[in-house]
Amino acid sequence: MFTTGFKFFFGLTIALAIGAVAYGYSTGGEHVGPVTLGWKGGVGDHVGYLVLIGGAFASACFAGIIVAFRDADPAAQSHYMGVEAIAPTTPVTGSFWPVVGAFGGAAMVLGLVLGPAVFVLGLVICSLVAIEWTMDAWADRATGDAGANKALRDRIMAPFEIPVAGALGVAVMALAASRIFLNATKLGAVVWAGLIAVTIFGLGILYAARPKMNKNVIAGLVLAVGVAVIAGGIVTAVDGQRDFEHHSEHHGDDHGEEHGEDHSEEGEASE
C-alpha cells in the first residue's frame, strides 16, 4: 500500500523528470541526451537541466524514505504505538500555496520561450512552494490540536521564513523604488523618496503607538503600501528611464571649443 506522502513525491518526481527532458530539448538538446543524462548527446542548458534533474532525484529519495518508514500510514502507526486506532486529526486548513505554485509553473512555461532567467525564477518559486506546502500538510496532521500543529510548524520554519521573507521584501521594494526614481524627474524623485519614507515611518509610529491594534489592519496597510510601490515600479520600468544629461562631457566640449577659438585667434594675430 502506497502512502499519501509517497504518491505526492512520486508524482513530483515524474513531473520534474518530464520537465527536465522538455527543457533540455527546448534549449538545444541533441539526440537522446536529455533522456540519458547527457550520455548520448547534449542536454541543452546545463544549469536548468541539472536543477530539474536534481529536484527529481531528491523527490525520489523522499518518496522512498516515506514508503519505507510508512509515514502517515494509520495502520503502521497504531501498530508501533500499541493502540487499536490513531486518534482522528483536525481537517486540513486552507492554503494559498497552490495559487503561488500556479504562478511559478506559468513562469517556467514562459521561460521556455523567453529565456533561462525566467525559467529559473519559476523553478525557484515552485521549489519554495513545494517546501512550504509540504510543511503545511505535515503540520496539519501532526497532532489532533490545531494550535499545537501551528506552533510546531512555526517552530521549525519561522527561523528560515522570517529572514528570507524580510530579505526578499527589502530587495523587491528597493528595486521597485529605484525604477520609480529613475523614471521621475530630479524633483519628482525627491518627492517620491520623501513620500515613501514618510509612509513607512508613519506605519512604524502607528504600530508602536497602538501595539494592541488588530494585526490584520496593520498587515493590510503594509500590504497596500507594498503593492502600490511594486505596481509603480512595474509601470515605470515598462515606461523606461528618463534621459540623463552628462554635464561633464558638455563642459569638456565647450572647454575644448574655447581653446580652439583661442588658438585660431592667436594664429590670425601672428599672421
| Model confidence pLDDT, tens digit, residues 6-55 | 888 888 899 999 988 888 888 888 888 888 888 888 888 888 888 899 99
- 197 pLDDT tier (thresholds 50, 70, 90): confident
Integer distance in angstroms from the first to the last C-alpha of the chain?
107
What percentage of the chain reaches a pLDDT higher than 70?
79
Residue 208 scores a pLDDT above 70: yes
Give pLDDT, residue 8.
Answer: 85
As a whole number of angstroms, the distance between CA 131 and CA 123 comes to 12
Q: Measured on CA atoms in the order 39, 42, 46, 52, is the torsion positive or negative?
A: negative
Average pLDDT rounded to a whole number, residues 184-204: 85
Give pLDDT, residue 13.
Answer: 92
Give pLDDT, residue 138.
Answer: 80
Q: Give ∠ CA 35-38-41 in degrees, rounded to 5.
A: 90
As a whole number of angstroms, the distance between CA 198 and CA 262 comes to 53
Grid coordinates belonging to 96: 494559498
Range with the poorest average pLDDT among 78-92, 139-153, 180-194: 78-92
Give pLDDT, residue 92.
Answer: 62
Residue 206 scores a pLDDT above 70: yes
Give pLDDT, residue 84.
Answer: 65
As a whole number of angstroms, the distance between CA 105 and CA 128 comes to 12
Greatest CA separation for the chain: 118
Average pLDDT, the chain: 78
